[in-house]
Amino acid sequence: MSFIDKIKNLIKPSVFEDVFVAELVAALSPERVRFDATERFLHSHDSSVFDEGNAGPICFPITTREVQTIMRISEKHGRSIVARGAGTGLAGGAIPLGAPVVVVMTKMNKILEIDIDNRVAWVEPGVINLDLSRYLQPFGFHFAPDPSSQQVCTIGGNVANNSGGPHCLAYGVTDAHVLALEIVLPDGEVATIGGLDPEPVGFDLRGAFIGSEGTLGIATKIAVRITKNPPTVRTLLLSFSSMRAAAETVSAVIAAGIVPAAMEVMDQRITIAVESFVGAGYPTDAAAVLLVEVEGLVDGVQIDASNIREIGFKHGATDVRVAETDNERELLWKGRKTAFGAIAQIAPDYYLHDTVVPRSALADVLEKVNEVAERYDLIVMNVFHAGDGNLHPLLLFDAREEGMLEKVHAAGAEIMRISLDAGGVLSGEHGIGIEKQAYMDELFTTEDLNHQNRLRYAFDPQCRSNPGKILPAGHSCADIQSLKNVPQGVWG
């Protein structure tokens, strides 16, 4: 310990905190820097079930330069930072660990430039996903990644988590729709990675950044690919008397060479909950429903739809309904996209899983998931992106019950192992965050993880950007210094 550090240790920690906050205030403005207990409490949480968050000062920057300044001041004080969008993450990616500066990007929400000819839009990270698509509507375009939370989640958050969504089956996830990024590195340097050219030269740093969950820096401008709206869309709703039949239909459709825009399955419990909220005419007596969307030119869509119908019946569909109007179609999708929220009609808390298994293993894995839930005496619901084998089992519980949270986590861990055993991966689209860090060891070798850490180190040598996430403790530089502890204050 140096002499200066020794002196520092004699002074009350709050003094340093005050100086730190004062510098942030001077750089932004008093109303855009908060350090009160209430704001820190609010920003210690997101949509996930993790409650170990502890936010430091909260900043609401409005320009790249301000983000840069926040980074520099934080570096000077040896403090870490966590970027936050709408706070809808389910893996705890935006939960601040070790009292970092929480950089809330929601005020940077301008659509900067639309270039229809080149199919590019430059946006700030705080733009809400659905707002962009709505803005593009009159031009006949949209932004393809459509997570279920698209009406609220931000593009910046989509980039951080490499978000998917129902329609990513045909279009690909966020990575396929981001061309270039302006980022602020943890040391405050501003860099542009990727490019608008069709064949950018050099390493694909853009690809490394997307899905890095804020551990490599903060994106401040994003060039997204915009997608032409399809001329025809048809949505089919297939009902099944067993989950297995639904899962097999999904595999059969893909095996037949059809790539629908989306294929979504919901089990009976979730269908009942959803139907009571939207009233879209979902069959509440079916064991499983499969929502399939095909799009393209009229004739092709017609052929695909009738083929899917046939495959469905062959695999035991009890009913196939085609949405007649846009309104009907929209209602069906609204039901699917609000499914997670709708479960509160049944229990006050849920733990939503996100794993990916090979499509052919869907039916078996689902059965095992149900077994686990039964063994732990938990209600499980299944709603998932069947087309890419992306499972979302929901465990329902009431956190007020003693020991419940531990039980839910234990069941969750088993579900994760089942998926891995079936040849799957840890996360489809929600990210690793805090949630799945401990399981990284089971998917990757030590060598793999060390390489990932080296990549991280290249961007963020001090591990100050969203510390304590993704890489498990042993492989991350995070635990060295960034997880400093600052008392949470009166609301502790």
Partner 1 sequence: MDLKLDSEELNTCVHCGLCLPHCPTFRITGEEALSPRGRIRLMQEIQTNDQMVTKEALASFETCIQCRGCEPACPSGVPYGSLIEQTRKTLVQENRILPRWQRIPYHVLTRPRLLRFLSRLLTIANKVHLIPKRFAIPKNIPFFNKPLIPSGTDVYLFTGCVMDAWQRETHQAGKRVLEHLGFGVTPTGDRVPCCGALHTHAGLGTKAQEIAENVINSLSDNERPILVDSAGCGAALKDYGHLLGTEEALAFSSRIFDIHEWVEKHIETFAVSSKLSLRVAIQDPCHLRHVQRSHRAVRNVLEPFVDEVIELNDDGLCCGAGGAFSIFQPDLASKARDQKIAVINEKQCDVVASANPGCSMHLQQGGIDIRHPMDIIDEAISLKTIPSDL
Site residues (vs partner 1, CB under 8 A)? 34, 36-39, 41-43, 45-47, 60, 86-88, 104, 106-107, 109, 126, 128, 130-131, 134, 149, 151-152, 274, 277, 338-345, 348-350, 398, 400, 490-491
Q: Which one, 195 or 341, has the nearer CB to partner 1?
A: 341
Whichever of 348 and 474 has its CB closer to partner 1, that residue is 348
Question: Closer CB to partner 1, residue 75 or residue 349?
Answer: 349
Burial profile 11-25: b = 16 or more Cβ within 10 angstroms, e = fewer: eeeeeebeebbebbb
Each residue of 248-271: b (16+ CB within 10 Å) or e?
A: bbbbebbeeebebbbbbbbbbbbb
Q: How far is the CB of 134 from partner 1 (least distance, A)?
A: 8
For 67, phi then psi, to 5°, come to -60, -40
User: Closest distance between partner 1 and the C-beta of residue 69, in Å?
Assistant: 19
What is the C-alpha to C-alpha distance for residues 52 and 468, in angstroms, rounded to an integer?
A: 12
Nearer to partner 1, 51 or 310 (CB): 51
Distance between first and last Cα of the chain: 30
Nearest approach in angstroms of CB 43 to partner 1 is 6
Minimum distance from residue 152 beta carbon to partner 1 (Å): 5
Angle formed at CA 257 by CA 254 and CA 262, multiple of 5 degrees? 45
**Least CB distance to partner 1 at residue 88 (A):** 4
Q: Which of 58, 124, 46, 49 is nearest to 87 (CA)?
A: 46
Instruction: State the Cα–Cα distance between residues 157 and 466, nearest whole angstrom.
Output: 13
* Residue 235 in tokens: 């949505």
Least CB distance to partner 1 at residue 213 (A): 18
Residue number, 121 or 342, with CB nearest to partner 1: 342
Nearer to partner 1, 86 or 261 (CB): 86
Q: From residue 115, how far is each of 118, 122, 128 by CA, in Å?
A: 6, 8, 19
Report the 3 state secondary structure along 189-201: CEEEEECCCCCCC
Q: How far is CA 152 from CA 36, 85, 86, 157, in A?
A: 26, 9, 7, 10
Burial of residue 319 (CB within 10 Å: 0-12, 13-18, 19+) is: middle
| Shortest reach from residue 47's CB to partner 1, in Å | 5
As measured in angstroms, the least distance from the Cβ of 303 to partner 1 is 35
Nearer Cβ to partner 1, position 56 or 424? 56
Q: How far is the CB of 73 from partner 1 (least distance, A)?
A: 21
CA distance readout (Å), 149 to 130, 155, 491: 9, 11, 30
DSSP-based three-state secondary structure for 438: helix
Nearest approach, Cβ of 137 to partner 1 (angstroms)? 9
Nearer to partner 1, 20 or 351 (CB): 351
Nearer to partner 1, 184 or 339 (CB): 339
Separation between Cα atoms, residue 43 and residue 57, nearest integer Å: 10
- Residue closer to partner 1 by CB (options 102, 373) is 102
* Residue of 192, 191, 179 whose CA lies nearest to 224: 179
User: Considering beta carbons, is residue 37 or 255 the nearer one to partner 1?
Assistant: 37
- In 3D, which of 121, 110, 107 has the Cα closest to residue 70? 107
* 3 state SS of 120: strand
CB of 50 to partner 1, least distance (A): 12
| Inter-axis angle of helices 404-421 and 362-375, nearest 10 | 160
Closest approach of Cβ 363 to partner 1, in Å?
Answer: 28
CA distances from 208 to 129, 205, 222, 329 (A): 21, 5, 15, 36
Cβ distance to partner 1 smaller for residue 56 or 194 = 56
3-state helix, strand, coil in the chain (%, to 5): 40, 20, 40
Q: Which is nearer to partner 1, 157 or 424 (CB)?
A: 157
Number of residues that this document lists for the chain? 492
**Shortest distance, CB of residue 291 to partner 1, whole angstroms?**
17
Cα–Cα dist 302/362, whole Å: 28
Q: Cα(303)–Cα(195) distance, rounded to whole angstroms?
A: 38
